Amino acid sequence: DTGVSQDPRHKITKRGQNVTFRCDPISEHNRLYWYRQTLGQGPEFLTYFQNEAQLEKSRLLSDRFSAERPKGSFSTLEIQRTEQGDSAMYLCASSPGALLGEQYFGPGTRLTVT
């Protein structure tokens, strides 16, 4: 299966700790997106990359959040000094980019901050 993969699937951390999530997109897709989803809500856009360039960041992405896609392949999302409000599902999606919005999602990383 060559779909989008995310690691880890679940992460429990204590408040104040740093966490890093990884996303491996579909190999030929040049766009990669990060979203956050809380219970009862749709995914909220965080940021996206075209190849290795980070083109857009949401205002939701505070200074504690940083994302990278160093070689235009996999991406990492780091949250520093986690807070309980960061508890959510973090979703990664990739897109071939030809048609805006046609995205293929990974299974997500469920973060719980205690």
Q: Which residues bind another protein (CB under 8 A)?
A: 4, 33, 35, 40-45, 48, 55-56, 91, 93, 99-108, 110
Task: Select 29 or 80, whichever has its Cβ closest to another protein.
Answer: 29
Token pair 């897109």 is found at 95
Sign of CA dihedral 13, 16, 17, 19: positive
Give least dist CB 73 to another protein, A: 19
Task: Select 63 or 99, whichever has its Cβ closest to another protein.
Answer: 99
Task: Select 72 or 80, whichever has its Cβ closest to another protein.
Answer: 72
Give least dist CB 38 to another protein, A: 10
By C-alpha distance, which of 89, 6, 8, 97 is closest to 43? 89
Dist. CA 11–CA 113, nearest whole Å: 8
Give least dist CB 43 to another protein, A: 5
CB 66 within 8 A of CB 57: no
Task: Select 16 or 97, whichever has its Cβ closest to another protein.
Answer: 97
Give least dist CB 20 to another protein, A: 19
Dist. CA 46–CA 61, nearest whole Å: 6
